[in-house]
Amino acid sequence: MLEFEGQRVIVTGGAGHIGRAICEAFLEAGARVLACGRRAPEQAIVAAGREALFVSADLRNAEASQSVIDEALSQWGGIDILVNNAGGSPPIEAASASPRLTEKILALNLLAPLVLSQQAYSALSANSQPGRIVNIASVSGARPSPGTTAYGAAKAGLLSATQSLAMEWGPDIRVNALIVGLVHNEAGVEHYGGDEGFRQVADMLPLKRMATPNDVANATLMLCSERASYISGASLAVDGGGEVPVFLHLAKQAADSV
């Protein structure tokens, strides 16, 4: 029997880079998956002969997020797992960010996962085994985030909410978070200064590579598995060992050049 055979899973941002990998991993493990996002994927989300349902919804709108819950209940009659993966932010200096943009960033990265979790509470807590919520957070919420201040603040808030909800909702629901570090994305290579900049950034990580979407997906499934049945309120770092302080890298460069 597959580990998540028949379990009912919602993945927000399911058509994105990391979200698709999470959907596919659950499908391969036997789950039924509903992905949601503002835009439907160009290609269906399929794995192991199973296809994810997709619901178009802007999760910053509470009525839209409720429609996602309603569709899952209509299709399946219940929900076992919620993965709050949708998020993101454009790079922008805090002094230049408009109040409206700041509100949108906070709405997507903090308010949306909190509200959707509240909306899913009744279904997640009605099962014979604990429901599970995994919040996909970021290293930006665990260390300074210059250039994406509102995003970092939102992710820090999400980590705090993870601990609070775990206390409020246990034992009926386990709530955990992933603190995701740098993730390899072919479309984002130029953000790091091209191939050489990308290589240098990856080389500064202890494991000498950025995460793949599958690394994040595997960690998500681990937190949702029975093997993690006593883990709740945790924030698991998926960052390849952490980011080496830049001053150490600069000092080594200086020493090597002597």
Of the candidates 121, 151, 192, 230, the residue annotated as catalytic is 151
Question: Structure tokens of 218?
Answer: 């595997």
- Catalytic, 192? Answer no
Q: CB atoms < 10 A from the CB of 252, how many? A: 11
| Distances from the Cα of 191 to the Cα of 146, 187, 195, 208, 212, angstroms | 15, 9, 10, 18, 17
Residue among 68, 8, 62 at smallest CA distance from 37: 68
Cα(131)–Cα(54) distance, integer angstroms:
21
Q: At what angle do helices 112-124 and 149-169 cross, to 10 degrees?
A: 20
Give the residue numbers marked as catalytic: 151
